[in-house]
Structures are given as C-alpha cells and as structure tokens.
Structure 1
C-alpha cells in the first residue's frame, strides 16, 4: 500500500513539474507523446477509482503478479482504447488542462487507495483480487510510466528507489526468474518490458531468462 502511494505521488509530481513544451516530446511508450501518456494516466486513475468501489463476493482469482496479462508481442496501437488516447489527449489543447484533470482525478485515486481495506475483495477485468494485491499490481504500472514520462527529459526526477525495487521484484515474479544482480532496478524494468534492447553483455548475463524477454504487460 505504501509503495502504491509513493509511486503514484512521485508520478503525479513528475507530471506537474513537466514543462508545457515537453508535452510534445516523445515518451517511452512507442508511438505516444508525453501528452498521450498523461492522458492514459487519467484513464488509469479512473480505473483505480472504479475498481476500489467494485466489491466482489467470491474468492480471489488473481494476485499482484497474475493480475497482468503477459504477451511477447508489443502493442500495435490497434486496440480501440490505445487508438483513442492520442485523439483524446489532443482534444485537451493546453497541457495545463491535462495537468489539472490528472491532478483532480489522480488525487482522488490516491485518497481512495489510502482508505481502502487491503483485505477487501474487488473485481476488475473478470478477475477478483484483494485491494492490497490490486494496488500492489499498480506499483509496476506507475513506476514504468514514470520512466516512460522522463525517457527523453534528462533533467526530470526519477522514480523513488524503493518503488523501483518493488516494481523489479514484481516483474521478477511475473517472469518467474530473478534478473542478474548486475542489472540496476531501472535496467531490469526497461529491458524486461522491452523498453530498451539489452546489450550483448547483458543478454549473456540474462542466460535462459533472455529467451522469455521482453514481457509486455497488459
């Protein structure tokens, strides 16, 4: 729960500190500008709010790791929601409007997360999880998107070290194998999710894990 709050607060702060002119810069999400990524975060925040008030009366069917659908195929942008995001982001016109909407909805999502009972069962995407597991799953979402946000903004603040470590741990659970100790948390996340191509030396260090990568989470 703490990692959710820290990673989300850090991401909201990073967006608020992003200069208006940088909203037209590319992000770390292929095909998306920074403004598109921020628009996606608005949708994510809405999803958190909706899920936390969607109780489930059955046993959990997933946890923080199995919540994610993993494929070896990168997104193509053909998904209707993915295709909608750039058009919706452009409709905001001014970056300040996007910032305002994310701060408004994002702050509400953060408050809802802090008030949630970790043991409560919630339902989303045909899965049942405890609220604690659901929020833990989102630590990797916030951390990866924080890295996406600052991918081409070298002066921007990086994600907190503790949430980078937590996101790496979750990615290792999803992969079913730890990354080599020679990988920093950031490198493990970027290489593991296909955001960066590993060097020949890194590929050799990954061993059998290299054949399972990259992991695209959806």
Structure 2
C-alpha cells in the first residue's frame, strides 16, 4: 500500500474543500448554470456531484472496515479505471443532472455543499489516519481515503472554472497532491511533456486531449490516458 503521511492527506482535503467553498460561495444563479468541463453538466451539477462525495465521506469515516486495507490512494484510481463501465457512468451522470435540477434555486446546492463539506472536514480531523474504513466495496486507511477526496475535489473545482475565468482555482497544496497521484499512476516514461501542474491535471484526467507530439513522447503509455476520469 501507499506511504502517505496522514497530515499531508488531511491538509490536502481541507485546502481543497475550503477553497472550493470559497469559489462556490461567490457564484450567482447564472454562474451555476454555466457549462463545466464535464460533458452535459452545469457548474451546479458538478458541485452536486462533489456534494455527494462529501456526504459519502460522512458515512465512510463512520464505517470501520473490520479488515485490512485492500486499496490505497493510488491503486484506488487504477481499480476505478478498470471497474467503471460506460453504462454506470451514464446512469450516474443522469442521476446527478436530475438531483441538481431538483433544487428550485441552484444556490441552495452551494449551501448544502458548504454545510456538508464543513461537517466532513470536522469529522476527518477526529478520526485517526491509520483507521481502516470501507467505501464503494473497498477498504482504505482514513489517510488514503482523504487523499481520494482531495483529488476528486481538485479536479472538479477545475471543471467548474472553464466558463468562469478569473474565479478562485484550487490551492497549490491539493494541486501538488493531485500531481503526485498522477505521477504515481503514470510511472516511468521515456519523456513526460513539460506541463505546468494545472495542465498536467487537465491532460491526465482527459479534460484536455494529448497532442500528437505528446503521444509520441509518452510512447505506449499514452494509451493509458486518461489516468483518472
């Protein structure tokens, strides 16, 4: 399993959630209805998706696995890539659109996000990082689980900014942490393109396609992109 310091993971998710809350709190009705980088989803849809993650965190952090960890903050994403099906992704996308649309005023999603994210962070700070919890059929240490939340929030924060230039972007801490996870997923390559951190995240998650030159430099590894969806 991975060797991630508990404080690193906790700080990453704290910074990711706090900055996402600052970003979301500055959005009006029109902003929330703007398109995101997630095809078919508005900004409000993406925020609702991340709200579901924060809700899952409250359940997971109170759900001891009762067995050793079988996943870590890197292997989780490899497993996700192999287990995810197009049908399941389509079902979830539809669920998110319907769930977000049920809010008469999309700004209520912001209120629910802020409340739930705050509660998740308070609970995360109280649970020992070495404890093993269960979620989505896998068992993780709390530290590794918090890392997955930080990566998810960082990537989706970027998704929400595509039509909102000049708004707050993720903090350097969770950005660096997400880059570390992508580096671990990529592994050794002949030549990694000289991307800045935000571009690496967008390329590694398939938000921005690889160019022909980048594919040539990455060699056979390019076929594994996106590393995280």
Common fold by TM > 0.5: yes
Aligned to 2:95: 84
5+ unaligned residues in a row in structure 1: which ranges? none
Structure 1 residue 7 corresponds to structure 2 residue 16 = yes
Runs of 4+ in 1 over 2 A off after TM superposition: 71-82, 174-181, 198-209
Change beyond 3 A, Cα 1:108–1:141: same
- Equivalent residue for 2:38? 29
Q: Please give the root-mean-square deviation of Cα atoms over the aligned residues, in Å.
A: 2.1
**TM-score normalised by length of structure 2:** 0.86
The partner residue of 1:167 within 160, 172, 178 is 178
Deviation (angstroms), 1:2: 0.9
Residues 1:189 and 1:72: Cα distance change in structure 2 (over 3 Å): farther
Contact 2:53 2:149 in 1 (8 A): no
**Aligned residues of 1:51 and 1:123 also touching (Cα < 8 A):** yes
Question: What SS does the aligned partner of 2:182 have?
Answer: helix
The alignment partner of 1:182 has SS state of: coil
1:35-55 C-alpha deviation (Å, 9 max, x unpaired): 111111221110011100000
Q: Which residue of 1 aligns with 2:48?
A: 39
Distance in 2 between the 1:6 and 1:73 partners?
28
Instruction: Name the CA shift for 1:177/1:8 in 2 (closer, same or farther; >3 Å).
Output: farther
Q: Is residue 35–residue 95 contact of structure 1 (8 Å, CA) maintained in 2?
A: yes
Q: Shift of residue 156 of structure 1?
A: 0.9
1:1-37: CA deviations, max 9, x gaps? 1111111111121111123211111111111111111
Residue 161 of structure 2 is aligned with which of 134, 146, 150?
150
Unaligned runs of 5+ in 2: 1-9
Deviation at 1:91, TM superposition (A): 1.2
Aligned residues: 217
Aligned residues of 1:180 and 1:205 also touching (Cα < 8 A)? yes
The TM-score with structure 1 as length reference comes to: 0.91
